[in-house]
Amino acid sequence: MRIPRIFHPEPLRDQRQVELSAAAAKHISAVLRLKTGVPLVLFDGSGFEFEAVLEKSDKKHALVSIARMHGPAVESPLRVTLAQGISRGERMDYTVQKAVELGVAGIIPVLTERSVVRLDEKSASRKQQHWQHVVISACEQSGRVHLPQVQPPVSLGTFLASRQPAHLKLLLDPQADMTVSQLLNPPNNDVLLLVGPEGGLDDAERDAAKRAGFLGVQLGPRILRTETAALVTLSLLQGRWGDLGN
């Protein structure tokens, strides 16, 4: 039986007993139906796992004892930040979830001219929180020990005007001549990947991205859905410079 992994938002180093969040307690009791005495693995996003034992549990409270700390080698040496054109509902959730499984370091939701989703300040904050919960769940499932952060949604213009720390900026562009296999190694293994929403970026947006230093790459002769394109590119990047398949 696989030992459940639970995210804890507060530092766990040097702790002997911790009270888990109400959401984690409810998940342990109502969903996993765990009994006291069972082993758990906790992580706090610091790069370590903490072996623990469930001491007390009900639908609102869960107390665990921590046995030991260790640092599994599960994080990729390639740091990819995904700037993803916001897509509708489950498509965006799927992209976020699978991007985390593929080792993405951070996610920037981007609103573009062809984005079907429109967000005001309140709904943008709700979406950001929702996507961060998707990230936490994906980390729990995939064994990751660093927690990628979902940044607040921004317009493409604001994103391109910001100083994003990346040594290789890539734009998925079906009209580009270059493929991932033709790219030179990114200095410091740092990549910023921009992917458009349903319908992609328009001509003006692609031109603006290239003026901002983004290099266009294409994936082949077929047009892929936005969620497929992002995940295929992440897989290619991780296979070449990261830890996928190595």
Compute φ and ψ for 42, nearest 5 degrees: -105, 150
Look at the pTM and tell me if it is higher than 0.75. yes
d(CA 13, CA 10): 9
Question: Helix H segments across 119-202?
Answer: 121-142, 156-161
Token representation of residue 77? 């040496």
Token representation of residue 26? 């409810």
Name every residue whose Cβ is closer than 8 Å to that of residue 127 and which is 6 or more positions away in sequence: 86, 109, 119, 153
| pLDDT for the residue 27 | 86
Compute φ and ψ for 3, nearest 5 degrees: -80, 125
Amino acid sitting at position 8: H
Residue by residue, pLDDT tens for the chain (246 residues) are 688 999 999 999 999 999 998 888 888 888 888 888 899 999 999 999 999 999 988 888 899 999 999 988 899 999 999 999 999 889 999 999 999 999 999 999 999 998 877 888 888 999 999 999 999 999 999 999 999 999 999 999 999 998 777 789 999 999 999 999 999 889 889 999 999 998 899 999 999 999 999 999 999 999 899 999 999 999 999 999 999 976
Amino acid sitting at position 203: D
| pLDDT for the residue 170 | 97
Across the strands, what pairs with 81? 106, 192
| pLDDT for the residue 141 | 94
d(CA 214, CA 81): 13
Q: Which domains does the chain have, with CATH numbers?
A: 5-70 (2.40.240.20), 79-241 (3.40.1280.10)
| pLDDT for the residue 42 | 94
Return the H-helix or E-strand segment holding 217.
strand 215-217
Token representation of residue 63? 């107390």
